[in-house]
Amino acid sequence: MKRIKNQILQVLFKEPISIYKLIDKQDASLPEFLSILQQMENEDLIKVEDGTAKLTEKGLNSCLSISLKKIDECACEHCAATGYKINSFFEEVTKKYTKIAENRPEAIEKYDQGFISIDGVIKRVEFIYERGDLFKAKLFVIGDDDLFSIAAALTGLPEQIFVIDIDKRLIDFINEKALEYKLPIKAMVYDVQQAFPEDLKKKFDVFITDPVETLPGIKLFLSRGVSTLKGEGCSAYFGLTTLEASRKKWFDIQMMIHEMGFVITDIRRKFNVYPEDEKNFFRFQEKLPIVKKLGAKVDYNWYKSSLYRIEAIKDPKPIVEGEVIIDEKIYKDDESWATPY
């Protein structure tokens, strides 16, 4: 892929960098990235040593021969390229949320858990507010490793938030904090394999989720969310990476979205950052295929996802209904290189 090769050369022409930072500077899937990297190493254009990537002499001369330019970072440094700042109203929410999140349950490998940064959660709440989907809204959250429900409720804007998650530790924590801080949240243990409860169907305005990125997995998670929406005009938000979802997979997912009756209104690139935190999934990084293949310890917050917003333009219809028995294909496929094995 010439475009990805260009991205790599543009970065390394300026300076040698961490291999994980290089991952973040391009947008191929992880298998595609490693294949291109190995090809460039075989061509003696770059060298990766001790977790650092740099140009070889041949690579430098190649860049000079094509008149490649050394251009400083283009993305906004002040907002981490998200386009959003945390304003005074949301600063107060951030303080309360940060205090609560300090005691969150740690991510565990069994449920493929991982949470985004504190700032990332607040900016997601801000984005949903700006789009008119927060005030007096009934929100449904599928899986809440991020404790998004608590951050959103602390604003005092949503009418109701309902959370489902398979992890009882997380559900108990959310319900406990909702009671302590008098938040309009109810959380319930639910396994997406189970038939969806009838009393939760068509009751909500918005659903939020960060699904697994296999096609069967995302189809299941989105279908459960779609089941909760009242009808036309309702919306949903979910994260999707380019790291574990190739362009072909994005195409298939977008076809799925349209089939369920939605239009894509927004894709905010690299909006969600998963930090290297002692309670986050990087604790078991030695089990991530990409870390095994690179043979270098993670030294940069490279795992980021885009934030999708979709809106129903007709009565939304889930693709999957009833009970679904989950096997490994739901959680892992050939592109799941940032999922612990």
Question: At what angle are helices 247-259 and 215-228 packed, to 10 degrees?
Answer: 30
* Contact (Cβ atoms closer than 8 angstroms) between residue 235 and residue 309: yes
Read off φ and ψ for residue 141, nearest 5 degrees: -115, 125
CATH number of the domain encompassing residue 320: 3.40.50.150
The strand ranges marked E within 38-121 are: 46-49, 52-55
Hey, which bits of the chain come out as E strands? 17-18, 46-49, 52-55, 138-142, 160-165, 185-189, 206-209, 235-240, 262-273, 304-312
AA letter at 98 = T
Q: Are residues 213 and 103 in the same domain?
A: yes
Pair 127, 238 in one domain = yes
Q: What is the pLDDT of residue 279?
A: 65
Q: Are 145 and 114 in contact (CB under 8 A)?
A: yes
Mark out the alpha helices in 16-70 (DSSP H runs): 19-24, 30-42, 57-65
What confidence score (pLDDT) does residue 286 get? 86
120 in the same domain as 56: no
118 located within any domain: yes
Instruction: Give the number of other CB atoms < 10 A from CB of residue 334.
Output: 10
Q: Which residue, chain included where needed, has tokens 């795992």? A: 303
Position 235 in a domain: yes
pLDDT tens across the length of the chain (341 residues): 899 999 999 999 999 999 999 999 999 999 999 999 999 999 999 999 999 999 999 999 999 999 999 998 888 988 988 999 999 999 999 999 999 999 998 877 666 667 889 999 999 999 999 999 999 999 999 999 999 999 999 999 999 999 999 999 999 999 999 999 999 999 999 998 899 999 999 999 999 999 999 999 999 999 999 999 999 999 999 999 999 999 999 999 999 999 999 999 999 999 999 887 766 667 778 889 999 999 999 999 999 999 999 999 999 999 999 998 877 777 889 999 998 76
Q: CA angle, 319 as apex, 317 and 320 as ends, to 5°?
A: 120
**Does residue 54 sit in the same domain as residue 132?**
no
Say if 339 falls within a structural domain.
no
Please give the helix or strand (H or E) that residue 223 lies within, else none.
Answer: helix 215-228
d(CA 20, CA 11): 12
Q: Which domain holds residue 17?
A: 2-65
In this predicted structure, what is the pLDDT of residue 225? Answer: 97
Number of helical (H) and strand (E) elements in the chain, helices listed first: 12, 10
Phi, psi (degrees; rounded to nearest 5) at 160: -155, 145
Q: Do 33 and 94 sit in the same domain of this protein?
A: no
Same domain (yes/no): 218, 160 = yes
Q: Same domain for 116 and 46? A: no
For the CA atoms of 181, 123, 145, 250, the dihedral, rounded to the nearest 10 degrees, stands at 150
Q: What's the first-to-final CA gap in the chain, in angstroms?
A: 28
* Burial (Cβ within 10 Å: 0-12, 13-18, ≥19) of residue 147: buried
Look up residue 104 and give its DSSP letter: P
pLDDT of residue 106: 83
Any idea what the Cα angle at residue 173 is, between residues 171 and 175, rounded to 5°? 70
Q: Is 71 part of a structural domain of the chain? A: no
* 80, part of any domain: no
Domain identity same for 220 and 311: yes
Q: Are residues 19 and 142 in the same domain?
A: no
3-state secondary structure of 164: strand
Cβ-based burial of 65 (10 A; exposed 0-12, middle 13-18, buried ≥19): exposed
Q: Are residues 171 and 54 in the same domain?
A: no
For residue 206, the model assigns a pLDDT of 98
In a domain, 17, yes or no: yes
Q: Write down the residue that tokens 């986050």 correspond to.
A: 280
From 241, 282, 272, select the one nearest 33 (Cα to Cα): 241
In a domain, 74, yes or no: no
CB atoms within 10 A of CB 314: 12
- What gap in Å lies between CA 339 and CA 256, rounded to an integer? 23
CA distance 285 to 84: 30
- Could you tell me if residue 78 is inside a domain? no
Domain count, the chain: 2
d(CA 32, CA 39): 11
Phi-psi region of 261 (alpha: psi -120 to 50; beta: other; left: phi over 0): left
Same domain, 130 and 217: yes
Question: Are 97 and 141 part of one and the same domain?
Answer: yes
The CATH code of the domain that includes 11 is: 1.10.10.10
